[in-house]
Amino acid sequence: MIENQSDKIENKEDALSDQDNTFEDSSSEQVLPDDKNELSSQKTEEINTEELKNSISNNDARLEQLEKEHETLKNQYVRISADFDNFRKRQSRDQDDLKIQLVSKTLTAILPIVDNFERARQQLKPESEEAQALHRSYQGLYKQLVEVLKQQGVSPMRVVGQQFDPSLHEAVLREPSQEFQEDFIIEELQRGYHLEGKVLRHALVKVSMGPGKQNSQEQVEKDKVEVDIDSEVNTSEDV
């Protein structure tokens, strides 16, 4: 009986000892997973941080590349816009020049008719009433023609008394003049015309050589000197 009780006590003690060991084992098993979770969490945070840094670095590089592309496209746009503006101005200028050339060609063909009108006006001296009526009709036609030329931008040159300018005038004759200084226009032989500030036709003019007496005296003195030289040469040859 006593032995059975002692066996029961030992069995109880063994059971309690087994429970304590089980509790210790379970507690140790609970601690290990927490450490693993902490390590895993730290590694995950490190990985996420590294990925975030890489992502920021990639975004910065992409942004820099996009800024360079934007600057390149902007420069190309500015250059193309400037080229187009220059092309538009050049086209407009070429069209204006072509228009002026066509108008100039047409008006140049009409100017001889205007010259004939002016010559006829200077020569006609109507005496009878019928001739005067015809002259008035003629003057009306001439005024209409001149008005049309004015509307097209044509204006006559005023050259008498002006200094000779080869860009405006064409010298046909040169002669001495007591009234005008040298290289000044004495007479207009054919009228010149402007078209919008440009020369449509050069004026044919007579240009002064300066006072005639002075030039004549200089020529006489020059001839006298040449005669004296010739006489001296002849005398030396005779000797």
| Residues of the domain holding 180 | 154-239
- In this structure, the answer to whether residues 172 and 139 fall within a common structural domain is no
For position 167, what pLDDT does the model report? Answer: 92
The CA distance from 230 to 141, in Å, is 64
Write the CATH number for 172: 2.30.22.10
For position 238, what pLDDT does the model report? Answer: 43
Q: Please state the length of the chain.
A: 239
Which among 117, 133, 152 is the end of a domain?
152
Which residues touch 41 (CB under 8 Å, ≥6 apart)? none
For position 166, what pLDDT does the model report? Answer: 92
User: What is the tally of structural domains in the chain?
Assistant: 2
First to last CA, the chain: 198
The CA distance from 184 to 162, in Å, is 6
Which residue in 123, 119, 115 sits closest to 145, CA to CA?
115
Predicted TM-score (pTM) of this structure:
0.53
Name the strands in the sheet holding 193-195, side by side, starting at the edge strand that comes first in the sequence. Answer: 154-156, 193-195, 198-201
Asked if residue 26 belongs to a domain, the reply is: no
Which residue in 158, 173, 168, 167 sits closest to 205, CA to CA?
173
For position 208, what pLDDT does the model report? Answer: 92
List residues bridging with 163 in a β-sheet.
Answer: 184
- H or E stretch at 222: helix 212-238
- In this structure, the answer to whether residues 179 and 200 fall within a common structural domain is yes
Task: Give pLDDT < 70 ranges for the chain.
Answer: 1-39, 212-239
Burial class (CB in 10 A: 0-12, 13-18, 19+), 206: middle
- Report strand pairing: 193-195 vs 154-156: antiparallel
Asked if residue 42 belongs to a domain, the reply is: no
